[in-house]
Amino acid sequence: MKPLISIVIVNWDGMRFLPECLRSIFSQEGASFEVVLVDNGSRDGSVEYVKKGFPSVKVIENCKNLGFAKGNNIGISVANGRYILTLNNDTALEKGFLERLETVAGASDAGTGMWAVKILAFDKKTIDSVGGLLIYRDGLAKGRGRLEKDIGQYDALKEVFIPSACAGLYRRSMLDAIGAFDEDFFAYCEDTDLGLRARLAGFKTMSVPEAVVYHHYSGTTGRYTPRKAFLVGRNQIWLALKNLPCAMLPTLPFYMAWRYAIQAYGVATGKGAGGRFAEDFSKARLAAILLKSYLSAASGLPSVLKKRRAVQALRKASNSEVACWFRKYGLSASSVALID
């Protein structure tokens, strides 16, 4: 019998996190699931640990780090479930997580293609995201309620914008129809890109706050690294040019410039991700990274524009609907730039 949920975990030297993650999965009751672990060339013994300790896990070994996006796509390609749960290796599921998620997904109509869970820090109080991601006008996204204390303030949400792929549930038939993650992104912004493409194609997202997962934020990749700054800078441009309606593109440079101005303030005052980055790297290094990300984004424009045509061919949402999303689920530039 095929499992209902396929859990896809991309791993890269995640041995310090995997035991807790896998134990939390296999302690789940009342749900039909399988686990696919895609290893991106780990050298810390994590593959050997999984094979020995959790023999039912389907392990796929890549010879090098192929990235979060491609790693997930490889896992999805061999998954058998009706639903795909992308799960970071630095997470742990609360008891009953899968059963609750399975119940809500099974009762949802065919137009629901994604489900967003409650993601908390391991202190079980601080929000990573509840009800998925919110979005700024240039395409950058952040978890709803990020760094707030969870007192149930978002538990009444029903339909939301898009899930975080840290722990996001996707209908397999939707992924087959619109495509999964954009492998050119490598990592970062790939879940926003997928969510936007799904919304443009007419699918919606429902919140499942009763399904709780705990997360070590950026535990695997690191929070403030030059590589992350480069990928986010490049991928944000690609995401916007692929997905935003033509009517929004003329104002894109303004919104980007305004965000960068506030981030510059953050660098100068030690606030936000820019401020944390500046603690370890010079302002000149940060400027060089951003320039490199722009040049890389420009070199990929022919491919991005080709993908844009494919996105628009599947599009069902009108310009007014998209504008409504950015009002209803929008973030301010300050929220993006000054909140970690």
For residue range 152-175, list pLDDT tens digits in order. Answer: 999 999 999 999 999 999 999 999
Give domain 5-215's CATH superfamily: Spore Coat Polysaccharide Biosynthesis Protein SpsA; Chain A (3.90.550.10)
The residue-averaged pLDDT of 291-297 equals 98
> β-pairing, 83-87 with 5-11?
parallel
Domain boundaries, given as residue ranges, for the chain: 5-215, 226-338
pLDDT at position 222 is 57
Q: For the chain, how are helix, strand and coil distributed in percent, rounded to 5?
A: 45, 20, 35
Instruction: State the angle between helix axes of 283-299 and 226-243 in degrees (0 to 180), rounded to the nearest 10.
Output: 40
Q: Is the pLDDT of residue 150 over 80?
A: yes
Q: In the chain, pLDDT over 90 holds for what percent of residues?
A: 91
Confidence of residue 242 (pLDDT cuts 50, 70, 90): very high
| pLDDT per residue as tens digits for the range 203-218 | 999 999 999 999 998 6
Q: Is the pLDDT of residue 223 over 80?
A: no
Q: Is the pLDDT of residue 220 over 70?
A: no
Q: Is the pLDDT of residue 224 over 90?
A: no
Q: Is the pLDDT of residue 251 over 60?
A: yes
More confident residue, 123 or 283: 123
Specify the amino acid at residue 337. Answer: A
Among the ranges given (28-37, 83-92, 98-107, 277-286), the one the predictor scored with the smallest mean pLDDT: 277-286
Residue 136, token pair as written in the block: 């700024």
- Minimal CA–CA distance to 236: which of 190, 267, 273, 271? 190
pLDDT at position 40 is 98
Specify the amino acid at residue 314. Answer: L
| pLDDT per residue as tens digits for the range 82-104 | 999 999 999 999 999 999 999 99
